[in-house]
């Protein structure tokens, strides 16, 4: 019986009992053999009192400490006062009226940051208050005694209040967190990672250590919330961690809500991670389980699919059909985002685009010019002509010409190019894009951006020459027409095979041209000239208006 009593008695209480002076001899309480055993027991060190045990809590402190804190009348009163405080002054008075320990002072600071956020208080006044410095001093003096969860909340609160990272108290808290990482629960590590990723960025040493712990313990992840938070907030910091999170998300795909699917899709899009298995799983469960999706979910999903160039026609059809009745309630920005995403995917849904065209007509006065330009470019990418195209383009021609001077060069070129595709580019648009002063800066510029602009200008110039008989000029000069090239682009296997096959068919290299650059901005892999009897002719001696520099002047023979 006495042996069982010794085993059940907490060591710290047993040590205190044996070391305390007492008028009652220990031999009267325990048998002689057990007294000798008890006296031989060493005193437990202070650190061991907080070591995790099978019966302890996840935050590393024994459950008994939490029970004692909640049952201690004074501690319970202080906790209630902290929670019920409605102003920083009430919280500061607590430190004056009560002798707070480091854990209680940490809770006070956390409550201060919450009040500052809820009531939009000036954090500078809180930080400059002398009593706040006293709270920090209490924490700093016994930071090792702050409970794990309270410590994590304390660090988050100090960041929210804007405490200088160079202060000793802040560095002390960060150092303590660093030393305790192994004892933190996975949820606490996730909270830390999210906080540090936002407040300190990739270069944070503490964030690097937290991420390494998460990489080692990722199999402990349970539930969807933590996975979603880590993917959206921390995944960009560590590709290795993101790989593991994608694997975990694939396991949990069936459990994700539409909002969580939206956040995961956006995380993948912003990090340019085209995880096809995960995207397919999310798409499948989205179609199978979720019949009604909100506007935000629909908009962000189609944006993510467009950004990743991931095609899932059934999902696109659902998104388009769900968006169509909502178009009338959307803002111009939302309409623009929607149409641009579908244009990126090159996926046309006629009812939806008709609704967008009608929305643009009905709200033309409120539609900003940049948004109108984006809608025109998107229509051109899909070669979409509204059923009410006369009314639509009448509105465009009424609103747009007066704003051409204010458009940036890339936007102007995109708009005029799109109007050419839609066969709506009048002389005033062509004249503005092909004006010498507009494209003078492109000469000698070999940057990708300049080459892209030049290519579209060549397309506009071709449309002006071939499809606009009423347009008299100006046109692009010859030196610009011959300046656009393919650069270091390598031939594809199909192009190489075509060249080899045609070379054998023609018999002589003089009977054809390969890799032809035209003045229209298009490249021809190969071209050949055949007479009326389908026999090859050498093209060099004949006029070739599609080349920057024609090698011959003779007209093509009849029937060629």
pLDDT single digits (tens) 236-288: 888 999 999 999 999 999 999 999 999 999 999 999 999 999 999 999 999 98
The three-state secondary structure class of 366 is: coil
pLDDT attached to residue 547: 82
Higher pLDDT, 209 or 66: 209
State the Cα–Cα distance between residues 457 and 472, nearest whole angstrom: 16
pLDDT attached to residue 384: 96
State the Cα–Cα distance between residues 515 and 454, nearest whole angstrom: 19
State the Cα–Cα distance between residues 153 and 107, nearest whole angstrom: 8
Q: 340-389: per-residue pLDDT in tens?
A: 999 999 999 999 999 999 999 999 998 999 999 999 999 999 999 999 98
Q: 167-184: per-residue pLDDT in tens?
A: 888 899 999 999 998 888
pLDDT attached to residue 85: 75
Q: Model confidence at 6, in pLDDT bands (50, 70, 90)? A: very low
How much of the chain, in percent, has pLDDT values that exceed 70?
85
Question: What's the chain's average pLDDT?
Answer: 82
Per-residue pLDDT averaged across 408-434, rounded? 93
**Over 50: is that where the pLDDT of 67 sits?**
no
Higher pLDDT, 24 or 543: 543
Worst-scoring range by mean pLDDT, 22-36, 466-480, 492-506? Answer: 22-36
Q: Model confidence at 485, in pLDDT bands (50, 70, 90)? A: low
* Terminal-residue alpha carbon distance, the chain: 115
pLDDT attached to residue 559: 86
> Residue 548, Cβ neighbours under 10 Å: how many?
15
pLDDT attached to residue 57: 41
Per-residue pLDDT averaged across 153-175, rounded? 90
From residue 511, give the alpha-carbon distance in Å to each of 504, 524, 535, 542: 11, 15, 10, 12
pLDDT attached to residue 524: 85
Strand-pair partners of 527:
513
Q: 118-149: per-residue pLDDT in tens?
A: 888 888 888 888 888 888 898 888 898 899 99
**Over 60: is that where the pLDDT of 36 sits?**
no
Describe the strand order of the beta sheet including 536-537 as a list of residue ranges.
512-517, 523-530, 536-537
């Amino acid at each position: 019986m006495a042996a069982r009593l010794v085993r059940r008695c907490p060591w710290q209480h047993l040590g205190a009992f044996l070391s305390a002076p007492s008028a009652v001899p220990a031999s009267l309480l325990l048998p002689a053999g057990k007294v000798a055993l008890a006296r031989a027991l060493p005193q437990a060190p202070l650190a061991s009192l907080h070591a995790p045990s099978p019966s302890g809590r996840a935050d590393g402190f024994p459950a008994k400490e939490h029970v004692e804190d909640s049952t201690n009348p004074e501690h319970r009163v202080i906790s209630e006062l902290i929670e019920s405080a409605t102003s920083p002054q009430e919280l500061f008075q607590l430190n004056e009226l009560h002798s707070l320990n480091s854990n209680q002072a940490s809770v006070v600071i956390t409550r201060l940051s919450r009040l500052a956020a809820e009531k939009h208080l000036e954090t500078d006044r809180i930080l400059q208050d002398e009593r706040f410095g006293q709270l920090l001093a209490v924490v700093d003096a016994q930071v090792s005694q702050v409970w794990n969860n309270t410590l994590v909340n304390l660090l988050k609160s100090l960041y929210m209040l804007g405490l200088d990272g160079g202060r000793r108290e802040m560095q002390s808290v960060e150092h303590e967190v660093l030393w305790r990482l192994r004892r933190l629960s996975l949820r606490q590590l996730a909270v830390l990672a999210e906080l540090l990723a936002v407040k300190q960025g990739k270069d944070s040493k503490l964030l690097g250590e937290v991420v390494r712990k998460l990489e080692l313990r990722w199999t402990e992840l349970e539930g969807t919330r933590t996975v979603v938070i880590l993917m959206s907030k921390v995944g960009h910091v560590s590709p290795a961690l993101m790989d593991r999170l994608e694997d975990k998300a694939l396991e949990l795909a069936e459990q994700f809500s539409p909002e969580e699917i939206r956040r995961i899709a956006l995380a993948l899009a912003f990090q340019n991670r085209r995880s096809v298995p995960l995207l397919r799983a999310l798409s499948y469960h989205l179609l199978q389980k979720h019949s009604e999706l909100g506007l935000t979910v629909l908009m962000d999903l189609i944006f993510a699919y467009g950004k990743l160039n991931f095609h899932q026609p059934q999902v696109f059809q659902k998104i388009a059909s769900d968006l169509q009745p909502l178009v009338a309630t959307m803002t111009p920005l939302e309409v623009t985002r929607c149409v641009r995403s579908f244009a990126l995917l090159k996926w046309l849904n006629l009812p939806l685009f008709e609704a967008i065209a009608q929305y643009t007509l009905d709200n033309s006065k409120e539609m900003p010019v940049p948004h109108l330009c984006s809608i025109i470019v998107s229509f051109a990418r899909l070669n979409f002509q509204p059923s009410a195209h006369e009314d639509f383009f009448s509105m465009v021609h009424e609103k747009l010409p007066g704003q051409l001077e204010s458009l940036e060069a890339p936007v102007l070129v995109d708009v005029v190019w799109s109007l050419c595709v839609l066969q709506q580019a009048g002389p005033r648009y062509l004249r503005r894009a092909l004006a010498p002063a507009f494209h003078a800066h492109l000469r000698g510029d070999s940057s990708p951006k300049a080459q892209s602009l030049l290519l579209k200008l060549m397309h506009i110039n071709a449309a002006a020459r071939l499809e606009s008989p009423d347009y008299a000029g100006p046109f692009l000069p010859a030196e610009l027409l011959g300046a656009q090239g393919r650069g270091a682009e390598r031939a594809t296997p199909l192009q190489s095979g075509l060249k080899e096959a045609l070379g054998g068919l023609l018999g002589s290299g003089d009977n054809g041209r390969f890799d032809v650059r035209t003045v229209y901005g298009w490249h021809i892999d190969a071209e050949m000239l055949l007479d009326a009897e389908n026999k090859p002719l050498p093209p060099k001696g004949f006029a070739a208006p599609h080349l920057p520099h024609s090698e011959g002047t003779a007209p093509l023979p009849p029937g060629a």
